[in-house]
Every structure is written in C-alpha cells, then in structure tokens.
Amino acid sequence: DKTVVITLKKRGRFVVCRVEDHGVGIAAEELDHVWDRYYKASSNMVRATEGSGLGLSIVKHGVSLHGGSITVKSSEGSGTTFTMALPKN
C-alpha cells in the first residue's frame, strides 16, 4: 500500500504533524539509528534512487532548533509513523 496519510492538528501551544505510511516498516533494532547521519536502513525495499542518509538527521536538527520534537514508531510489515511537534509561534 503506497498510501501516505498526513495530518496536522493544534495541541495546546504546539502544531503536530503526523506522517504515516503502511509500507514495509523499520526493524526495531534500527529505529534509534534513523536519526544518525548517513544511516540507511537495511530494509528489503528496493528503491529506484539511492539517498545519502542525511534527510532525517537534517529534519531532526531543524525541528530541535525550532524548539520542537520528532518521534518515530514502526512495525515491520505494518508501516511507519513520524510525529513532529513545533511551537505555534
């Protein structure tokens, strides 16, 4: 299922963005590493293009600089959800 669901909600003084897919998921032992520079998960997914492994590291740093937070939850075979909270002002 290539569906990606994006939701945006106000929660107190934060705006919360949730990005959820129903793809192959990320192995539990790899979840802590997705924020590391140059890290590429060893999933069985074949991609048409290769990435540098910098994207999530850059996102986490940018969110942190704005006083926010970002988390990831995933189950192999069930997909992945990233949740980002940023202050409204």
Number of H helices, E strands in the chain: 1, 4
Three-class DSSP category at 31: helix
Residue-level pLDDT, tens digit, the chain, 89 residues = 689 999 999 999 999 999 999 988 988 988 888 888 877 766 555 455 567 778 899 999 999 999 999 999 998 989 999 999 999 97
Q: Which of 77, 69, 68, 60 is nearest to 21 (CA)?
A: 77
Q: Which residues contact 10 (CB under 8 A, 6 or more apart)?
A: 16, 88
